[in-house]
Amino acid sequence: MHYQDIYERSISDPEGFWRQEAARLDWFKAPETILSRDDQGFDRWFAGGQLNMAHLALDHHIDHGRGEQTAVIHDSPVTGRQRHITYRELRDEVARFAGGLRALGVECGDRVVIYMPMVPETLVAMLACARLGAIHSVVFGGFQPHELAVRIDDARPRALITASCGIEVSRILPYKPLVDEALQACDCPPAATVVLQRPECEAAMQVNNATTRDFDWHRVMADASPVDPVAVDATHPLYILYTSGTTGKPKGVVRDTGGYAVALNFSMDAVYNLDPGDVFWTASDVGWVVGHSYIVYAPLIHGCTTVVYEGKPVRTPDAGAFWRVIAEHRVKTFFTAPTAFRAVRKEDPDAAMMAGYDLSCLKAVYLAGERLDPPTYGWIKAITGLPVIDHWWQTETGWAIAANPMGIEPHREKSGSAALPVPGYQIAILDSDGSPQPAGTQGNIALRLPLPPGCLPTLWEDDDRFRYSYLNAFPGYYDTSDGGYIDEDGYLFVMGRMDDVINVAGHRLSTGEMEELIGHHPAVAECAVIGIADELKGEVPMGFVVLKEGQTIDPAVLENAVMDVIRTQIGAIANLQAVAVVDKLPKTRSGKILRKSIRQLSQERDVAVPATIEDPSSLEEIREALETVRVSRYAR
Ligand code: COA
Ligand code: AMP
């Protein structure tokens, strides 16, 4: 069957299409209803069907003869360790840890926050939650206590699972003090914290605290009895994953169980062209959606081997790391963010470090997380000679919205384009009034409802925010907040965010949140943060600050203080580059900061002065500040 036939069937008969896909999974109770509406009027897939994600990912394969196949390869250059875990071993660990969580009071529907590095125990923790029907919420290990505390308070977990440390290249980062600080700061600390002690760093345990108590991972395991998977409804939340919105409060994206399982399984064939037994490596972090979907759930549901890599593209030990792992573990499909390849190219522009590795196993390279810029696309293509697939998606969708459908019918690659809509998604380009735009015209990228299985049904305990963030702008559509165009051949070009979210080295961050944090500095009257272009990281944030009346703080002192706030409140990944003090910010006459004009000025010297601007000279000051930063960054 051709892509066009499959795509058209997915749109003209979504229920028939997804019923057939659902039938490929091992349900405890097969769904009779395929698409329905819940009491909030939101679309739901497979309501009434019953299944368990850990059963699909583990027990099902053992029942079908894959028990001795490697499920997980942990490759950790930062510790010098490697571990291969079979499906049977992983199932046994997961079943036992689920028993341990149950003994700590965790039951179906309870939330569990997971703050862990890239170790197999992170997958065990996630799958153990899934086995119980508990809802996990993984928080990226690069986030600081403030971010962790905000998420804990929103999810109100019964337990938290962490490790004594993460390792960044050769730096040991103790996690437990960060967790303790977050628990001190939050209003709803969980009663139990399970700590995986790593040999690199022993965490001090709290056993006598009245509100919260620490438990050793190995002790919990040793005392536990394995448990069987709990049958949950298809609409039962598998996880909450917090992602940056335009304010300081992150959005709790809810992922259901049945729709997600069906969508991921479909994607492994249609998008990634993988068969059971194949080795799939996603070099990302389990803390991001890419990690949830393509390090953990999709490869395991599909019976593949997944590589869990605890290292960097460079410096662990060098820019040959990708090629070493691919060759050593016979990786068939490799997926990472463009920024990772930019880091490799910077160190090894001629890809000399590929030499000596047998890369014949590798069949395709997938990129996502940010736009695959044409120079990076061209470089990867030239050095690998393989299909290089840019595919576009978001935490909210959980899987690709647009891609080159390698498993159905590969198409011509176009540099700069994420190619075609994946079956199930109807992509539209709309102007600000919601009118569809002709080919080649830029606009808001929206998805016609219903969204296919796997996409978010709502935000955690915030249906209203779900409505106004995604559904209200264009009735009948989901607003992606990305902008771009579709060309004459139907290829999608995603050009960037239309809101105050930026993408720093593939990490999605909120400039609104940074503004809130900077605004707390006693010298600051108001501020604006935008993303400026960066050769390596794609974008990095820069702040513009207006001082309070009478303040005489040295701008360099203020800059250091503000950078420190962002680093200690959000994390080093935020990479705030510069803070410029200006007399005034460009504003409309009604007092709204013209962030769009500041953004435009960072991209081009001359921008049209908006008719609504209060004082056109304010733009000149921003232009000068940007120029100063550009010169100093160039000189570095
Ligand atoms: N825990 C603690 N700190 C972390 C961290 C983590 N998990 N990840 C990054 N950091 C720190 C780094 O150590 C660095 O600290 P420093 O400023 O003190 O040196 C800082 O955050 C900036 O990190 P980053 O911008 O990520 O640069 P890097 O050189 O460490 O890594 C990449 C470069 C390309 C490997 C990395 O940015 C990356 O993997 N990006 C892809 C993200 C991704 O997978 N997104 C999902 C879509 S696919
Ligand atoms: P996240 O939710 O962290 O996965 O970030 C999603 C955002 O990253 C999207 O809304 C886009 O702005 C950007 N993004 C992800 N993948 C791509 C891609 N292939 N091309 C362009 N932008 C992308």
Cβ neighbours for 150, distance < 8 A, ≥ 6 positions apart = 186, 242, 248, 249, 250
136 touches ligand 2 (CB under 6 Å): no
Q: Pick from 108, 105, 178: which is nearest to 136 by CA? A: 108
Tell me, what's the pLDDT at 608? 83
CA of 205 to the centre of ligand 2 (A): 39
Q: Which CATH class is domain 505-635?
A: alpha beta
Tell me, what's the pLDDT at 1? 76
539 touches ligand 2 (CB under 6 Å): no
What does DSSP say about strands 279-282 and 333-336: parallel, antiparallel, or unpaired?
parallel
Tokens of 426: 């109807």
pLDDT tens track for 455-496: 999 999 999 999 999 999 999 999 999 999 999 999 999 999
Tokens of 263: 């969508």
Peptide bond into 317 cis (omega under 30): yes
- pLDDT > 90: what percent of the chain? 93
Q: Pick from 10, 280, 236: which is nearest to 131 by CA? A: 236
Q: Pick from 386, 383, 338: which is nearest to 538 by CA? A: 338
pLDDT tens track for 617-633: 999 999 999 998 887 77
Contact 316, 78 (CB under 8 A): yes
493 touches ligand 2 (CB under 6 Å): no
Tell me, what's the pLDDT at 383? 98
Which stretches does DSSP call E strand in 92-208?
111-115, 135-138, 159-163, 165-168, 171-174, 192-196
Per-residue DSSP letter, 201 = B
Question: What are the backbone dihedrals phi and psi of residue 117, each rounded to the nearest 5 degrees, phi first?
Answer: -85, -170
Cβ neighbours for 318, distance < 8 A, ≥ 6 positions apart = 347, 348, 353
Cα angle: 55, vertex 127, 15; to 5 degrees:
55
Cα angle: 34, vertex 37, 38; to 5 degrees:
115
- pLDDT > 70: what percent of the chain? 99
Tokens of 96: 């036992």
CA of 472 to the centre of ligand 2 (A): 21
* CA 91 to chain centroid: 25
Per-residue DSSP letter, 29 = B
309 membership: H or E segment, kind and range: strand 305-309
Using CA atoms, how far residue 65 sits from 68, 86, 87, 473, 591, in Å, is 8, 12, 10, 49, 66
pLDDT tens track for 54-93: 999 999 999 999 999 999 999 999 999 999 999 999 999 9
Question: Which of 288, 367, 370, 427 has most ligand 2 atoms within 8 Å of CB, for mutation?
Answer: 370
Task: Report which protein residue has its CA nearest ligand 2's atom 4.
Answer: 394
- Tell which atom from ligand 2 comes closest to the C-alpha of 496: 12
Question: What are the backbone dihedrals phi and psi of residue 181, each rounded to the nearest 5 degrees, phi first?
Answer: -65, -40
pLDDT tens track for 550-562: 999 999 999 999 9
Q: At what angle do helices 14-22 and 3-12 cross, to 10 degrees?
A: 110
pLDDT tens track for 145-165: 999 999 999 999 999 999 999
Question: What are the backbone dihedrals phi and psi of residue 424, each rounded to the nearest 5 degrees, phi first?
Answer: 105, -25
pLDDT at 211 over 70: no
Tokens of 117: 């590095």
Residue type, 489: D
Residue type, 100: G
Q: Pick from 596, 591, 583, 582: which is nearest to 614 by CA? A: 591
- Tell which atom from ligand 2 comes closest to the C-alpha of 395: 2
Task: Report which protein residue has its CA nearest ligand 2's atom 20.
Answer: 371
- Tell which atom from ligand 2 comes closest to the C-alpha of 480: 10
pLDDT tens track for 422-446: 999 999 999 999 999 999 999 999 9
- Tell which atom from ligand 2 comes closest to the C-alpha of 484: 21
Domains of the chain, by residue range, sit at 3-311+391-484, 505-635
The ligand that comes nearest to the alpha carbon of residue 390 is 2
CA of 413 to the centre of ligand 2 (A): 19
Tell me, what's the pLDDT at 605? 72
Per-residue DSSP letter, 56 = I
Pocket around ligand 1 at a 6 A CB cut-off = 141-142, 166, 168, 173, 284-285, 288, 290, 312-313, 337, 339-340, 343, 368-369, 505-507, 537, 572-573, 575
Tell me, what's the pLDDT at 513? 94
- Tell which atom from ligand 1 comes closest to the C-alpha of 291: 46
Cα angle: 456, vertex 476, 240; to 5 degrees:
10
Tell me, what's the pLDDT at 218? 98
The ligand that comes nearest to the alpha carbon of residue 116 is 1
Tell me, what's the pLDDT at 636? 66
Task: Report which protein residue has its CA nearest ligand 2's atom 11.
Answer: 370
Task: Report which protein residue has its CA nearest ligand 2's atom 15.
Answer: 369
CA distance 174 to 165: 4
Burial, 380: exposed, middle or buried (Cβ in 10 Å; 0-12, 13-18, 19+)?
A: buried
Task: Report which protein residue has its CA nearest ligand 2's atom 6.
Answer: 394
For range 33-39, the mean pLDDT: 97
Burial, 356: exposed, middle or buried (Cβ in 10 Å; 0-12, 13-18, 19+)?
A: exposed
Find the farthest-apart pair of alpha carbons in the chain and give their distance in angstroms, rounded. Answer: 74
Task: Report which protein residue has its CA nearest ligand 2's atom 5.
Answer: 394
pLDDT at 253 over 70: yes
Give the number of other Cβ atoms within 10 Å of residue 358's Cβ: 11
Contact 138, 287 (CB under 8 A): yes
The ligand that comes nearest to the alpha carbon of residue 456 is 2
Question: Of the CATH numbers 2.60.260.40, 3.40.830.10, 2.60.210.10, 3.40.50.12780, which one belongs to the domain with range 3-311+391-484?
Answer: 3.40.50.12780
H-type helices in 239-331, by residue range? 258-270, 289-291, 298-301, 321-329
Tell me, what's the pLDDT at 603? 86
The ligand that comes nearest to the alpha carbon of residue 335 is 1
Tokens of 70: 């490697």
For range 378-403, the mean pLDDT: 98
Task: Report which protein residue has its CA nearest ligand 1's atom 33.
Answer: 340
pLDDT at 212 over 90: no
559 touches ligand 2 (CB under 6 Å): no
- Tell which atom from ligand 2 comes closest to the C-alpha of 390: 19
Per-residue DSSP letter, 466 = H
Question: Which of 395, 494, 511 has most ligand 2 atoms within 8 Å of CB, for mutation?
Answer: 494
394 touches ligand 2 (CB under 6 Å): yes
pLDDT at 209 over 80: no
CA of 494 to the centre of ligand 2 (A): 9
374 membership: H or E segment, kind and range: helix 374-384
CA of 368 to the centre of ligand 2 (A): 7
The ligand that comes nearest to the alpha carbon of residue 337 is 1
Tell me, what's the pLDDT at 629? 85
| SS3 label, residue 55 | helix
Cα angle: 259, vertex 263, 266; to 5 degrees:
145
What burial letters (b/e) apply to 230-261, b meaning 16+ CB within 10 Å?
A: bbbbbbbbbbbbbbbbbebbbbbbbbbbbbbb
243 touches ligand 2 (CB under 6 Å): yes
- Tell which atom from ligand 1 comes closest to the C-alpha of 289: 46
Tokens of 304: 């593949």
CA atoms within 13 A of residue 364's CA, in its CB half-sphere: 21
pLDDT at 635 over 80: no
pLDDT at 311 over 70: yes
**Cα Rg, the chain, nearest whole Å:** 24
Give 578's strand partners. Answer: 542
Q: Pick from 414, 452, 363: which is nearest to 45 by CA? A: 452
pLDDT at 245 over 70: yes
Q: Pick from 553, 574, 556: which is nearest to 565 by CA? A: 574
- Tell which atom from ligand 2 comes closest to the C-alpha of 418: 19
pLDDT tens track for 160-179: 999 999 999 999 999 999 99
CA of 371 to the centre of ligand 2 (A): 7
For range 90-114, the mean pLDDT: 98
pLDDT tens track for 348-374: 999 999 999 999 999 999 999 999 999
Contact 222, 192 (CB under 8 A): no
CA of 281 to the centre of ligand 1 (A): 18
Mean pLDDT of the chain: 96
The ligand that comes nearest to the alpha carbon of residue 504 is 1
Tell me, what's the pLDDT at 206? 82
